[in-house]
Amino acid sequence: MTIFKNKVVIITGASSGIGRQMALDLAEDGAWLVLAARSLDKLNSLEDECTQLGARAISVQTDVSDENQCKALIDATIAEFDRIDILINNAGITARNRFDEMQVLWPFEKVMQVNYLGSVYCSYYALPHLKKSKGQLVGVSSMTGKVGVPNRSAYSASKFAMVGFFDALRVELADSGVSVTVTYPDFVETGSRLESIGPDGNSVKEAFKRGGKVMGVEEASEIMLEAIAQRKRESILSTRGKFTPLLKILFPNLVDRLVQKAANK
């Protein structure tokens, strides 16, 4: 996709998973990358890989739940490249819990701060520059942002909020030249154990066990970058993901049973 050559692309949550793979794929395309995440060591390693692939890249340690750090990320991008073409809001954390088993409620706040407000903060400070370049805003949501999933109530709520924000923003920016794309990954195998916040507020590691089709990060990145290249309004990555929202309207009780079954696997 030569469309990304020399494009200035910010990726939050770039140190692992889909964000990392997107960075590598964009590097091969010759993009100018700004890599953001909390782990500077991982970012620096990724930066080296990207530059070896022919990209220009910088690392900016960023916790997107902190508004000031989001502003600093945008400022660093402008200082280095003098423009922004694409902002990919990919950073996210998850929590595994039943709401009636929660021992503390701050995980709901934390997940919302990272997944939703992190996108708000970064988008706010990037938007004036994206208007100048007629660039793109990208939100990486989840199928839990279309269908609520049991044991993921905090995560689902944050992704629904994210989708509502970007849907409204798309309409507001319709005459600005800035496009808004929301992507909806399904279950994606990252090759590592998932870190979640448990009902007591402590971090827990979950082994990746999931029935049915699981998408690899390479395939997920390819589909998402194709949607970004075409400035699509949304991209649902899996076949079941495309049908589930329709089934939810027509057969809501059936969908409840299906997501409960999936959550128990």
Give 16: exposed, middle or buried? Use CB within 10 Å, 0-12, 13-18, 19+: middle
116 has catalytic annotation: no
Q: Which two tokens stand for residue 83?
A: 């423009």
Q: Among residues 143, 158, 53, 37, which one has the least CA distance to residue 88? A: 37
Give 173: exposed, middle or buried? Use CB within 10 Å, 0-12, 13-18, 19+: middle
The active-site residue out of 116, 125, 155, 184 is 155
| CB-side neighbour CA atoms (13 Å) of 33 | 36
C-alpha–C-alpha distance, residues 134 and 155, integer Å:
31
Catalytic residues: 155
